[in-house]
Structure 1
Amino acid sequence: MSTTRRLAWQLLAWTSFALGVIGAFVPLLPSTCFLLVAVWAASKGSPRFARWIRSHPRFGPAVVAWEESGAIPRHAKWMALAMLSLSVVVLLITVSLWWLKLGLTVMLIGIAIWIVTRPEPASSS
């Protein structure tokens, strides 16, 4: 792999990781999805960084649970459902086109159903 390509993967990995860390502290910003992108990109540009993320005591368990079984912790499901519900309320109030309102609401409900049907990690409470 060329140096430029490897550096691009590393840049994507570090940017995604930084957003994931910020998301751990900012309520409306998700962290796990950014961490999954970080591990994916790091696997291509810096396998050592990917291993470090997977073994990190705070961020690693959610990433490993997703990679191993597509599992989402219960607290993450609740947070996602709350944010999706808030999004539906905001779009119902702010969007004036009925067909767009309906389409976006159906899409967000579909995402919510998908999230709820994912398994939970074995150690999740």
Structure 2
Amino acid sequence: MSARSPFVRSLYIALAALCFALGLAGVFLPLLPTTPLMLLAVALASKGSTRFALWIRANRFAGPAITAWEQEQAIPRRAKVTAVIMIVISAVVMALIIEALWLRIGLLAGLSTIALFIVTRRSPRRR
């Protein structure tokens, strides 16, 4: 099947819509990563519907972070702070709930790596 077939295009659009919806839910749920889901939504929408991809980029909530990442591989300061706060909350909750030490250490190491990646990205230039 080619990327131009209606089925494949519809699949890309459906997956993009799912990622976008999960990204929006991630604004309120600490364990769902909003920005990566929005970036995936744009990538999928770009293959299925240019109009949908443009709409996501123009979205007042997701658009600026997506554009900053696409153009500069930068993460806005507010997004960094929010992400790190959510990661810390998630880490504390997991540390309190998970009993298996090896799993707790592995998850905390993974979350720490993600937080370090986020913090070390530059902030977008002012325009």
Shared fold, TM over 0.5: yes
Give the superposed CA RMSD.
2.0
Please show how residues 35-46 of structure 1 align to structure 2 within 5 Å: 35-46=38-49
- How far apart in 2 are the matches of 1:21 and 1:88? 21
The gaps in structure 2 that reach 5 residues or longer are none
2:56 to 48, 53, 71: 53
- Partner of residue 78, structure 2: 75
The one-letter code matched in structure 2 to 1:68 is: Q
Sort the Cα spacing of 1:95 and 1:21 in 2 relative to 1 into closer, same or farther, 3 A: closer
Please show how residues 96-115 of structure 1 align to structure 2 within 5 Å: 96-115=99-118
- Percent identical residues: 45
Shift of 1:47: 1.2
Sort the Cα spacing of 1:99 and 1:20 in 2 relative to 1 into closer, same or farther, 3 A: closer
The one-letter code matched in structure 2 to 1:37 is: L
